[in-house]
Amino acid sequence: MLTRLARWWTRMLLPRRGALLGVALVSALSLAHSQTPEAPQSAPMLRGPEAFRALTDPTERSRALFVEAGKVLLHPRCVNCHPQGDRPRQGLGSHLHEPPVVRGAADHGVPAMECQTCHQATNVDHARLPGHPSWGVAPRSMAWYGRSLGAVCEQLKDHGRNGGKTLAQIHEHMAHDSLVGWGWNPGVGREPVPGTQEVFGALIAAWIDTGAACPTP
């Protein structure tokens, strides 16, 4: 109903030069209509590095630390924006994004349907629209959706698939980037990722310090 009303309003009231605004309105209303509240779930607790001090073998401890960090890395809040294909995903069920959108050449959508057409600089809770100034999808080389935690771990260490980052830069991104931090502040009606960004960053730092070992792919 919302989508049909928006299309009628666009056709009847907007001049031809306002067509792009009409597309944006239809997209925003369709997206808001598709965003039904998620069923409450108890997210797993995120343990800090101190929980793994009893593991005396550095490699074993390193793998265990990454497995714990994987509670964040493989949460739908993260993998939904790391798709292997052209379309991002949404919701705890990781269903394809509605309305249909594609990544585009710069991973921020295509003309008239760019991510920022609907997604603003902050969450718009009354319209159930998530937001961030850099909203978009990760490059194809950084696709995580559908991959094992071990595969994601190897990917993070591969300069050819991690944006050319060092491990220190990976830690900085995980621990301090506000787009990563959105996962803990996803807006009303959405389950946040486990723990806090501070604990997550500490896990990544400890993983690197113990050799950055990966779980079995």
- pLDDT value at residue 138: 94
4 CB neighbour count, 10 Å cutoff: 10
Nearest to 184 by CA among 194, 173, 176, 174: 194
pLDDT score for 217: 77
141 pLDDT higher than 90: yes
In the predicted structure, residue 15 carries a pLDDT above the cut 80: no
Whether pLDDT at 75 is above 60 = yes
Reduce the DSSP state of residue 211 to 3 states and report it: coil
**Mean pLDDT across 112-119:** 93
Q: Is the pLDDT of residue 24 over 50?
A: no
Report the alpha-carbon distance of residue 205 to residue 210 in Å, rounded: 9
Q: How confident is the model at residue 41 (pLDDT cuts 50, 70, 90)?
A: low
In this prediction, residue 35 carries a pLDDT of 53
Checking if the pLDDT of 102 tops 50, the result is yes
Domain boundaries, the chain: 1-34, 45-100+134-209
Asked if pLDDT for residue 132 goes beyond 90, the answer is yes
More confident site: 40 or 193 = 193
What's the pLDDT score for residue 5? 35
Q: Would you tell me how many other CB atoms lie within 10 Å of the CB of residue 14? A: 14
* DSSP symbol at 107: S
**Which letter, b or e, does each residue of 187-196 get, where b requires 16 or more Cβ atoms within 10 Å of its Cβ?**
beebbbbbbe
Q: Sorting pLDDT into bands at 50, 70 and 90, what band is 38?
A: low
- CA nearest to 214, candidates 8, 43, 83, 70: 70
| Tens-place pLDDT, residues 156-204 | 999 999 999 999 999 999 999 999 999 999 999 999 999 999 999 999 9
User: Looking at per-residue confidence, does 35 or 119 come out higher?
Assistant: 119
Is 43 a residue whose pLDDT tops 80? no
Q: Which helix (H) or strand (E) holds 173?
A: helix 167-176
